[in-house]
Amino acid sequence: MTTATATQDTEPGAHVNRKAHNRKRWESRRTYVFAALIAIWCLLPAYWMVVTAFRDVGFTYDATPFFSHVTLDNFRAAFSTDTGNHLARALVNSLIVGIITTFISLMFGIFASYALARLNFRAKYLVLGFILAASMFPGVALVTPLFQLFTDLNWIGTYQALIIPYISFALPLTIYILVSFFREMPWELEEAARIDGCTKSQAFRKIIMPLAAPGVFTTAVLAFITSWNEFLIASQLSNGQTQTVTVAIASFSGSQPHQEPYTAVMAAATIVTIPLVIMVLVFQKQIVAGLTAGAVK
């Protein structure tokens, strides 16, 4: 249509067209400049972390912008237990706590989200509001009473002392994300299966479960990441035995009492972060969908 009008017009039309074309090229160039700026701003600090992790401790403050004085010593130092750091144990702890928290949250969350997404009932918005309020709940308000309760029960230093408060944010998150995933699903297929003679539970297992799997998986990834990244509760309700990675990194100590072992910390930070970054990049699309659906960090 635009070409038709352009050919009908003689001189001025062509002129406008060229101008529009020029402006478009300008715009796309500007888009690239901004996109590059955003990418650099987001990646540069993370890049610096990795560069430092591979740099000889003697060159901690070296400002060379690319990999230089490369060594693996920092990774050895990060895992070494000589100065009282237990990174390997912390990784195992975070893994255990994260997996159990995610599993429990999914177990309860799947049923609740199915009901909230699919069924009509009066208290629906009340329940959704309650769950949203729960996900916004400040962790620090749990720490005081739980610290005392778990001290009395002798639970400080056990996994349940972390898993129980973690459920308080992982379960609402799970429900929120799953509700929006479930709402997008082609539920007509369930009814079609029923018409074809499936029972309700058969229809659920054979039709709905496979369809829901990607959404459930994304939710699991997000719940796991949130619990992996938690710091406040872990720092107060764990001890040396159950310390998670975030606590281990925050309290990482070097051989010199007043000297921050930056290179080793950056190595530890890289180890803690790389699995997450890989996971996020692989499941990028699903994670963005889940994040914006649940709209919860």
Partner 1 sequence: MSTEPQSGTDLESGQAGSPPNPDKGDMVRKEATQGRAASMLIAPSIVVLTIVILYPVVSAVFQSFQKDAGLDSATGLFVAGGFAGIANYTHWILQQCTAGGVSVPCPPGTLGAQFWSSISTTFFFTVVTVILETAIGFGMAVIMARTFRGRGLLRASVLVPWAIPTAVTAKLWFFIFAFEGIANKMFGTSILWTGSENPARAGIIIADVWKTTPFMALLILAGLQIIPADVYEAAKVDGVTAWQRFRHITLPLVKPALLVAVLFRTLDALRMYDLPQIMTGGANNTTTLSILVVQEIRSGNFNSASALSTITFILIFLVALIFVKALGVNAVETTTVSGRGKAK
- Residues 187-206 binding partner 1 (CB under 8 A) are none
Q: How many residues bind partner 1 (CB under 8 A)?
A: 111
User: Helix or strand or coil: residue 55?
Assistant: strand
Contact string 230-249 vs partner 1 (x = CB under 8 A): -xx--xx--------xxx-x
CB closer to partner 1, 193 vs 236: 236
Min dist CB 186 to partner 1, Å, is 10
Which residue, 80 or 229, is less far from partner 1 as judged by CB?
A: 229
The answer to whether 262 contacts partner 1 (rule: CB under 8 A) is: yes
- Residue 55 pairs in a beta bridge with 70
Out of 241, 250, 255, 259, the residue judged to bind partner 1 by CB under 8 A:
250
Strand partners, 70: 55
SS3 of 79-104:
HCCCCCCCHHHHHHHHHHHHHHHHHH
| 71 Cβ contact list (under 8 Å, min separation 6) | 54, 55, 56
- Is residue 208 close enough to count as binding partner 1 by CB under 8 A? no
Q: Residue 280, interface with partner 1 (CB under 8 A)?
A: yes
Given its phi and psi angles, is residue 64 left (phi above 0), alpha (psi -120 to 50 degrees) or beta?
Answer: beta
Which residue shows structure tokens 């509760």?
A: 233
Binding residues for partner 1 restricted to 78-97, rule: CB under 8 A: none
184 binds partner 1 (CB under 8 A): yes
Q: Is 70 in the site for partner 1 (CB under 8 A)?
A: no
Asked whether 96 and 163 are in contact (CB, 8 A), the reply is no
Q: Does 66 bind partner 1 (CB under 8 A)?
A: no
Q: Minimum distance between the CB of residue 190 and partner 1, rounded to whole angstroms?
A: 14
Write out the binding residues for partner 1, residues 11-30 only, by CB under 8 A.
28
Q: Is residue 39 close enough to count as binding partner 1 by CB under 8 A? A: yes
Element (H, E) at 236: helix 232-237
Q: How far is CA 58 from CA 7, 72, 75, 156, 170, in A?
A: 70, 13, 15, 39, 42
